[in-house]
A and B are shown apart, each in its own frame.
Chain A
Amino acid sequence: MSNILTHSPALVMALPLLAAFLTPVVGRFNRKVLGWFVSIVLGLTLFITLLMATQILTNGPMIYVFGGSEAGLTLPSGYSVPIRIIFHIDGMGIFMGLITAVVSFLAAIYSLSFMQKHSGLEKYYALLLLLATGMFGMEFTGDIFNFFVFLEIASIASVALIAFRSNLSGEPAEAGFKYMVVSSISALMVLFAVGLFYGQYDVLNMATIASVMQFTQLDKIALILLLTVLAMKAGSVPMHMWTPDAYSEAPAAITMVLVAASQASLYALFRISFSLYNISLNTITVGWIIIILGILSMFIGVTMAIIQKDIKRLMAYHAISQTGYMLLGVGVGLAVLANPVALESFGIKAMEGGIFHIMNHAMYKGLLFLTAGALFYRTGTRDLNKMGGLANNMFYTTVFFIIGAAAIAGIPPFNGFASKLIIYESVYQFNPLLSIIAMLVSILTLASFVKVFHSAFLGPQLEQYKKVQEVPKSMVFAMAALACIIVLFGLFPDVIVKNLVHPAVMSLINQTNYTATILGGI
């Protein structure tokens, strides 16, 4: 067991990669066992991630040197800078890793029955495993060029998955084209920024760059480029145009994984502004820029969502709006980073709220997209005007939709209330107006989900839906798992915040811990 634990960073990234390469071979022999094979591999990955989480949250960050003579030897004899690709997992990295592991495992289980009638399924499962590999690599790596490579792997896999259902109509291909152009531009600008860092400092390791950084003019250009394109990949206004198309045209399980992939880009944004630059940048200016992006995303996201008729487009605009909450919380934390008194009193709390909201959002938004997929599976349409009275036929889907809608609106016994309350309290001490706008957006969120519930579920049973039954068991299992996590996080939020979120926030704020783990206390 200790052997698996030392090698677990590489295993979590490499097991889905090995399974992705074996999937066409397995699919050639036996088509029916393919879904079970993928689910077992992703379940194993989830198990190893949980082991790694218990190790990191008790003993501190883990590092893994690829191809070195032992796993923890970052500086071999005679070298003063690290030379190999190093995976550096601290509290924040394993937080995002847990989200990715849970979401991709549940997506594989949901796809067992959702995608059953499709042809070309071995390509679908290979692409899903590649997307999981890319996301794990983005969240675990400590090397900035390696981050670019995994970002591109995740982008290409997700574009192919968005355009997967284009054999019947042309809209998924159009959505895939838009997403491909956006993600190509962001990845190439990340590569340009990597070139800027390498040209000045001759190292690619993020901790080493953080320890030798002088904030020159070229570093300012790199910061602006990275902030803009990573916010574009995360789906914040004013670069949000690809989000409704991409999220609505993808198959439902893939939309859930895409939400987690957008949040991995958000994680990279936080990692770069906190661990790479820390207080050498002008924290008040950059913090206010992130806060303004957050406020715009919240407001524009929810106002565009109220008028939608397509259920998945409506939920995609809500995803933009909830990303605004995360940017607001962490932006307040960044703005007071150089001010130790304010940081102690409300800065750390604001960041805890923002980062807790990342996990809550992945859970309840995933549940909502899965229920929308269940409605599409049984009725064949995504248009809210054509649906109606489905609560008579689909009992479990109705209950899970109520849980998801209550969580996103911030109603007490569910997890949305916990993280939103932390954000309201701490942002109020920074600037009261921001907190009032956040509460207003929450009310509008509740309004739009009441509209969806009324038009899809309530009312008398319609003629054409008389024979509609409940969805198959694997889809109900995936939705039930997410609902259980939502209820548990809502009932015991202080346990989660103390054990999972607080180490993540402290590992972002302390840059000296981040560099000392790799450079050995120099």
Chain B
Amino acid sequence: MIGNFPYIAVAILIGLGIYTLIFKKNLIKIAIGITLIENGANLFLITLGYRKESVAPIYTQAPEGMNMVLPTPQALTLTSIVIGVATTALILSIAMIIYNKYGTLNTDEVRRLKE
């Protein structure tokens, strides 16, 4: 049961992220919601590689005779974090442009493109 705790954390993170995306009205809060979902997905990828009583997968000065956790999910997660940085930078820049042109960050008023 205690081994399932990271998966419960993933479910809570993604659930909170989707709640923020649907119900919050400020553009910056929507950006934070996307970051929460991305953190949940990254945590899910890292947890998949864990093996019981193993050490980090580094050969340099490692302890002798122990198993190692899988290194492939760590590479996948690193790629996903880099993509997340680019996404966050772009979405925050677009939010800055919207604030400059519209004067507000509330999604109820940023709605000139209708129908």
Identity of the chain B residue whose Cβ is nearest the Cβ of A178 in the assembled complex: B113
- State in angstroms the CA–CA spacing of A244 and B91 once bound together: 20
List residues of chain A with CB within 8 A of the CB of B21: 181, 185
B98 and A177 contact, CB distance less than 8 A: yes
- State in angstroms the CA–CA spacing of A399 and B113 once bound together: 31
For residues 79 through 115 of chain B, which have their beta carbon under 8 Å from a beta carbon of chain A?
79-80, 83, 86-87, 90-91, 94-95, 97-98, 100-102, 110-113, 115
List residues of chain A with CB within 8 A of the CB of B38: 184, 188
Chain A 150-168 against B: per-residue CB contact (8 Å), 1 yes, 0 no?
0010001001100100100
A191 and B101 contact, CB distance less than 8 A: no
Question: How near does chain A come to B35, taking the closest CB pair, in angstroms?
Answer: 10
List residues of chain B with CB within 8 A of the CB of A170: 97-98, 100-102, 110, 112
A156 and B34 contact, CB distance less than 8 A: no
For residues 185 through 231 of chain A, which have their beta carbon under 8 Å from a beta carbon of chain B?
185, 187-188, 191-192, 194-195, 198-199, 204
> Does residue A279 face the partner (Cβ distance < 8 Å to B)?
no
Partner of B48, one of A177, A188, A198, A307: A198
Chain A contact-residue range equals: 35 or more
- State in angstroms the CA–CA spacing of A245 and B112 once bound together: 10
B73 and A191 contact, CB distance less than 8 A: no
Chain B contact-residue range equals: 20 to 34
Identity of the chain A residue whose Cβ is nearest the Cβ of B46 in the assembled complex: A195
A185 and B97 contact, CB distance less than 8 A: no
For residues 171 through 186 of chain A, which have their beta carbon under 8 Å from a beta carbon of chain B?
171, 173-177, 180-181, 184-185
> Does residue B12 face the partner (Cβ distance < 8 Å to A)?
no
- State in angstroms the CA–CA spacing of A173 and B41 once bound together: 27
Chain B CB within 10 Å, residue with most, of A156, A177, A199: A177
- State in angstroms the CA–CA spacing of A159 and B86 once bound together: 12
Question: How near does chain A come to B50, taking the closest CB pair, in angstroms?
Answer: 11
- State in angstroms the CA–CA spacing of A169 and B101 once bound together: 7
For residues 14 through 30 of chain B, which have their beta carbon under 8 Å from a beta carbon of chain A?
14, 21, 27, 30
- State in angstroms the CA–CA spacing of A188 and B81 once bound together: 11
List residues of chain B with CB within 8 A of the CB of A159: 90, 94
Contact A188-B98, Cβ < 8 Å, known A174-B110, A177-B27, A198-B48: no
List residues of chain A with CB within 8 A of the CB of B30: 181
B112 and A185 contact, CB distance less than 8 A: no
Contact A173-B98, Cβ < 8 Å, known A156-B86, A184-B87, A191-B41: yes
Identity of the chain A residue whose Cβ is nearest the Cβ of B79 in the assembled complex: A149
> Does residue B45 face the partner (Cβ distance < 8 Å to A)?
yes
Question: How near does chain B come to A311, taking the closest CB pair, in angstroms?
Answer: 15
Partner of A177, one of B41, B72, B83, B94: B94
A191 and B80 contact, CB distance less than 8 A: yes
Contact A180-B113, Cβ < 8 Å, known A191-B80, A195-B41, A199-B48: no
List residues of chain B with CB within 8 A of the CB of A177: 27, 91, 94-95, 98
B101 and A173 contact, CB distance less than 8 A: yes
List residues of chain A with CB within 8 A of the CB of B112: 170-171, 174
A249 and B113 contact, CB distance less than 8 A: yes
B44 and A195 contact, CB distance less than 8 A: yes
Identity of the chain B residue whose Cβ is nearest the Cβ of A177 in the assembled complex: B94
List residues of chain A with CB within 8 A of the CB of B73: 195, 198
> Does residue A147 face the partner (Cβ distance < 8 Å to B)?
no
List residues of chain B with CB within 8 A of the CB of A248: 113
> Does residue A114 face the partner (Cβ distance < 8 Å to B)?
no
B80 and A180 contact, CB distance less than 8 A: no
Partner of B76, one of A145, A173, A174, A307: A145
For residues 131 through 147 of chain A, which have their beta carbon under 8 Å from a beta carbon of chain B?
145
List residues of chain A with CB within 8 A of the CB of B87: 152, 156, 180, 184
Chain A 273-300 against B: per-residue CB contact (8 Å), 1 yes, 0 no?
0000000000000000000000000000
- State in angstroms the CA–CA spacing of A307 and B114 once bound together: 13
For residues 60 through 84 of chain B, which have their beta carbon under 8 Å from a beta carbon of chain A?
72-73, 76, 79-80, 83
- State in angstroms the CA–CA spacing of A195 and B47 once bound together: 10
Question: How near does chain B come to A157, taking the closest CB pair, in angstroms?
Answer: 10
Contact A185-B91, Cβ < 8 Å, known A173-B101, A177-B98: no
- State in angstroms the CA–CA spacing of A58 and B21 once bound together: 49
Partner of A174, one of B14, B44, B98, B115: B98
Q: Could you name 20 residue pairs across A and B whose Cβ atoms are closer than 8 Å?
A: A145-B76, A145-B79, A149-B83, A156-B90, A163-B97, A166-B97, A170-B97, A170-B98, A174-B113, A177-B91, A180-B94, A181-B30, A187-B83, A188-B37, A195-B41, A195-B73, A198-B48, A198-B72, A204-B72, A249-B113
Q: Which residues does A use to contact B, with CB under 8 Å?
A: 145, 149, 152, 156, 159-160, 163, 166, 169-171, 173-177, 180-181, 184-185, 187-188, 191-192, 194-195, 198-199, 204, 244-245, 248-249, 307-308
